[in-house]
Amino acid sequence: MLLEKDNIQIENKGLTIGKVKEQIQLFKDGLPFVNLESAATSDNGILKLSNDEKQHLIELFDVRRNENSILKFVPASGAATRMFKSLFKFIETFNPEKETLNAYINREKESNLSLFFVGLEKFPFYGIVKQEMKRYYADSESFSTDEQRLYFVKTMLDSDKLNYGFFPKGLLPFHTYKGHIATAFEEHLFEAALYASSNNKAHLHFTISERYKNIFDDEFKRIQDIVERKTNTKFYISFSYQKESTDTIAVTPENKPFRLEDGSLLFRPSGHGALLQNLNEQDADIIFIKNIDNVVVFKYEREVANYKKALAGLLVSLQKKAFDYLRQLENESITENSLIIVAEFLSNKLNTKISTEFEKYSKKYQIEYLRSKLNRPIRVCGMVKNEGEPGGGPFWVKDESGQISLQIVESAQINKRDKRQKDILKNATHFNPVDLVCGIKDYRGNRFDLEQFVDPKTAFITMKTKTGKELKALELPGLWNGSMANWNTIFVEVPLITFNPVKTVTDLLKPTHQIK
């Protein structure tokens, strides 16, 4: 199936022929759905902290933070295109000479568009767009109201004007303050000073598209002095790009390599699971992971930061105990009673299901078994209560060998035709806001190779099109899904205030993105 020229193309991408053949085989064999055992809930896999417990963990983290190197890892490669989906459609299909804006909104059932225009002056980019609009449409003041709105959106989105739809989301105007407008990138710096800094230094790593590197650099230079002065923190910013070697081959519906018009193979970016390689290159004791668009205006930042610190305090506390136990397990004269204490810690604190055969194992194998379960990366994940429809989130999952573990599962991984699986999904009480604190080093201070803890069978196959032809695409196991399947996992309930993504532009009108 692969030609000599294909082999050269594969090697030039940093892939191997064996890896590409494995990917093609995955398309042929298909990928299994996950096997949900039950939803993780407040009394079954999700820890609910009392106010006293939360305060204790915050104080613990504050005491210990300067002993640790800390990094905030922010996936930030996405353009803002999806934020403006209904607005792109609006400028393509609305004709003010043929119908009114209200008639268009009613006909298209575009409630988001209606909300956009009602809140127009509250958007942080309102003044910028109005100014640019005068430059491009000198007589815009004489336009009808509906025409003005159309040309406002055109000024925002047209590629020869502000071109916001193709901006990196992290560099769009997000929040309006007295005297300046802040981007999501800037808000991440202010947040990092509160919880992701040690010794008055904050290290942030953003995964971005390479073409945006200069714009991010310019934005940092523009705000660096102000943010450092206001936070009394020195910032160190690094960037990386999704590697070409993580791209996956596309195939036809018949599972043959999909070829472009010039006969070359088509490779596609493989989703956020590809960022595991970027994460694997980081070196810090504690890593916070949070998406670029999940930020709040300043008045809510301290409340959000306190929950981050509580999660980090829990990580520090559990990691210390795990490390102490791992050192004890190095001593072969460890008592049976001590082995039981380690097993109970794994079961009660790290949500590890201990084999029912454990007591029958020889002492030597018991030690080996406990070491293998304990000596893993660890993640503490905030989970938010479902306010709307149930979706993907925290579940107990049974793997092919019958092992049950806590996992973050996307709804696309669940077989909704299976009544039992569908019922478990329906009973989900929480969802995953991508709010993680990670420990990626072992008890000797060495970094784990994170690639060793992936479940490759949690990849996704999706249908796409290219030049009008159907194709199958492969996404790697998600960064916080299958890529972390074999980490030690703790889920903690956090409030909705910690989850403020901007998926559509009208999300910027929510209270957590507004000063007043």
Q: Where are the domains of the chain?
A: 4-80+168-317+427-513, 82-166
Percent pLDDT > 70 in the chain is 99
Query: How far is Cα 381 from Cα 246, in angstroms, rounded to an integer?
Result: 25
Query: How far is Cα 489 from Cα 484, in angstroms, rounded to an integer?
Result: 9
The CA-based angle 144-148-152, given to 5 degrees, is: 175
| Residue 95 in tokens | 């004709």
Provide CB contacts within 8 A for 110, sequence distance 6+.
Answer: 86, 89, 90, 104
Mean pLDDT of 109-130: 97
Tell me: pLDDT of 389 over 90.
no
Query: How far is Cα 250 from Cα 462, in angstroms, rounded to an integer?
Result: 10
pLDDT at 516: 85
Q: What fold characterizes domain 4-80+168-317+427-513?
A: Spore Coat Polysaccharide Biosynthesis Protein SpsA; Chain A (3.90.550)
Helices (H), 70-212: 85-93, 101-108, 111-118, 126-136, 145-157, 184-195
Mean pLDDT of 204-229: 95
User: Which of 137-141, 388-392, 482-486 has the highest mean predicted lDDT (pLDDT)?
Assistant: 482-486
Query: How far is Cα 44 from Cα 34, in angstroms, rounded to an integer?
Result: 19
- Band of the pLDDT at 390, cuts 50, 70, 90? low
pLDDT at 272: 92
pLDDT at 229: 98
For 281-293, the pLDDT digits (tens) are 999 999 999 999 9
* Burial classification of residue 79, based on how many CB atoms lie within 10 Å of its CB (0-12 exposed, 13-18 middle, 19 or more buried): middle
Query: How far is Cα 40 from Cα 431, in angstroms, rounded to an integer?
Result: 10
For the chain, what is the mean pLDDT? Answer: 95
Query: How far is Cα 114 from Cα 129, in angstroms, rounded to an integer?
Result: 18
pLDDT at 2: 87
pLDDT at 411: 86
pLDDT at 392: 66
Tell me: pLDDT of 277 over 90.
yes
Strand partners of residue 385: 430
Provide CB contacts within 8 A for 26, sequence distance 6+.
Answer: 459, 461, 474
Q: Which residue has the higher pLDDT, 345 or 332?
A: 345
Instruction: Report the DSSP pairing between strands 286-290 and 378-385.
Output: unpaired
Provide CB contacts within 8 A for 503, sequence distance 6+.
Answer: 82, 83, 293
Tell me: pLDDT of 113 over 70.
yes
